[in-house]
Amino acid sequence: MNPTSEDVCNLIDGVSSLGLTKLDGTGSGNLCFGREPTKPDNIVTVQDNPGAAPMLTLRQSESSYFYSSVNIRVRNTDYRTGYSVIKSILDYLHGLSGVTEGGTTYLLFKAMEDPQILAYDDNDRPIWICNFEVHRK
């Protein structure tokens, strides 16, 4: 099972309505998971959050339902554009269900709040965030 952030990154990579492509070795792209790079200026980063405890049943072999969580960060040089990107991601993921990525079945993506401004970084770029509860098995 991959980190949830990696699978979510793969799920939103190349979705035409989002306009996101994973960073490649040449620095081209605007989507990544894990650690947020310093460049490019406009980037979407998917990071793992603590989630709820996995389901536990009387049979360990049946206890494979996980309540994970990811944080999606949008850094952009323009405040409104950054909001538009994070809102588009929310609209795409919220309620998405029954998809498989990396051998894991994703049963539900649920936004935990509206997009919100987290901060401005050292280069005065606004950072928008939205957290998602992720049900997977």
The string of pLDDT tens digits covering residues 72-108 is: 999 999 999 999 999 999 999 999 999 999 999 999 9
- Tokens 């040089």 appear where? 77
Backbone angles phi, psi at 24, to 5 degrees: -115, -175
pLDDT computed for residue 57 by the predictor: 76
53-77 b/e (C-beta count within 10 Å ≥ 16 → b):
eeeeeeeeeeeeebebbbbbbbbbe
Structural Rg of the chain based on CA atoms: 15
Cα separation of 9 and 13, whole Å? 6
Ordered domains of the chain (ranges, CATH): 4-136 (3.30.2000.10)
Dihedral of alpha carbons 6, 136, 53, 117, sign: positive
Listed range (29-33, 40-44, 50-54, 109-113) with the worst mean pLDDT: 50-54
Question: What pLDDT is attached to residue 55?
Answer: 86
In DSSP notation, 73-97 reads EEE-SSHHHHHHHHHHHHHHHTT--
Mean pLDDT of the chain: 95
In 3-108, which ranges are continuous DSSP H helix?
4-12, 79-93
* Mean pLDDT computed over 115-132: 97
Quote the percentage of the chain above a pLDDT of 90: 86
pLDDT interval class at 118 (50, 70, 90): very high
- In tens, the pLDDT along 7-33 reads 999 999 999 999 999 999 887 999 999
Tokens of 14: 């190349």
For the cut 80, the answer to whether the pLDDT of residue 59 exceeds it is no
Q: What average pLDDT does the segment 59-76 reach?
A: 89
What does pTM read for this prediction?
A: 0.93
